[in-house]
Amino acid sequence: MKRPIFVLFLLCLFCGLAPAAQKYELEEPKDTVADYAQVVEPAAAAKVVTLSADLKRITSINFKVLIIRQLPPGVDAETYGRQIYERWDLGRTDKGEERGVLLFISVIDRQAKIIVGSRVKYLMPADVEEQIENDVNTDLARGKFSEGMGAGAAAISGRLLSEWNESRLLVGSAGGWQTISLTVFALFLASVILPFLLRGSFLMGAAIFAGGLLGYIFLGYIGLVLCAALGFFLGYGRRI
């Protein structure tokens, strides 16, 4: 008789000690700057909105800022930020790519965390994330919330735009290495088959390939077609 009572007591004790800290509500999506702590000045928020719009227009990266007063008990900034990123579906694009970045700030905890989507990670490596977070945390520790948020957003945007401009020819705008490889291979086949069918020379094939490749690098697919055609006409009739 005593055993069932003892088991029931243990069950009640276990339920009472269950970590209530894990049960917390996530903030709902808002505008580009979701300031739930109400510490950001309107001018600073407006600048971030402009940065985010420019970043979206140039790179298709979706950038937002979330500021809360305090983290739930027992929850770290990375865990909370990642859950927000996924709940808001921040990085999802029409092509299903994870092109999103979230700057998360907890005011009382004086913590900042950058959450980056998988398709943006190559632009924002871990050491760069850590440096920006440290800089923001320094401002937070001094009570400069607007300054820290603004400087962090500017650093993130500047880094992404800079790396995008440098790497877009290799990865970003071309859609990845797989697309690049297939495109270059197709161009190579065209530079071999066309001279063979038209009894052209090696110079014709080289002109088609070189022109198409340069056009693709600087102008994308339209440049590939136009410059490959130009190479064809320049090499047509020439012999080596």
Q: Are residues 31 and 95 in the same domain?
A: yes
Identify the pLDDT of residue 167.
Answer: 60
Q: Are residues 108 and 27 in the same domain?
A: yes
**What whole-number distance in Å separates Cα of residue 227 and Cα of residue 221?**
10
Q: Are residues 217 and 123 in the same domain?
A: no
pLDDT in tens, 32-49: 999 999 999 999 999 999
* Of 118, 136, 167, the domain-final residue: 167
Which of 122, 109, 127, 22 has the alpha carbon at shortest distance from 71? 109
Q: How many other C-beta atoms can be found within 10 angstroms of the C-beta atom of residue 218? A: 11
Which range marks the domain in which residue 121 is found?
20-167
User: In this structure, is residue 172 part of a structural domain?
Assistant: no
Q: In which residue ranges of the chain is pLDDT below 50?
A: 1-2, 4, 6-21, 169-175
**Total domains, the chain:** 2
Identify the pLDDT of residue 172.
Answer: 43
**Token digits for 153?**
């957003």
Q: How many other C-beta atoms can be found within 10 angstroms of the C-beta atom of residue 237? A: 11
DSSP state of 69: S
Which amino acid is present at 159?
R
CB distance 68 to 37 below 8 Å: yes
* Of 108, 140, 167, the domain-final residue: 167
The whole-model pTM stands at 0.62
**What's the half-sphere exposure (Cβ side, CA atoms, 13 Å) at 17?**
6
CB distance 60 to 99 below 8 Å: yes
Identify the pLDDT of residue 178.
Answer: 61
User: In this structure, is residue 107 part of a structural domain?
Assistant: yes
Q: Are residues 119 and 217 in the same domain?
A: no
User: In this structure, is residue 53 part of a structural domain?
Assistant: yes
Identify the pLDDT of residue 177.
Answer: 58
Q: Are residues 221 and 120 in the same domain?
A: no
Phi, psi of 236, deg, nearest 5: -70, 130
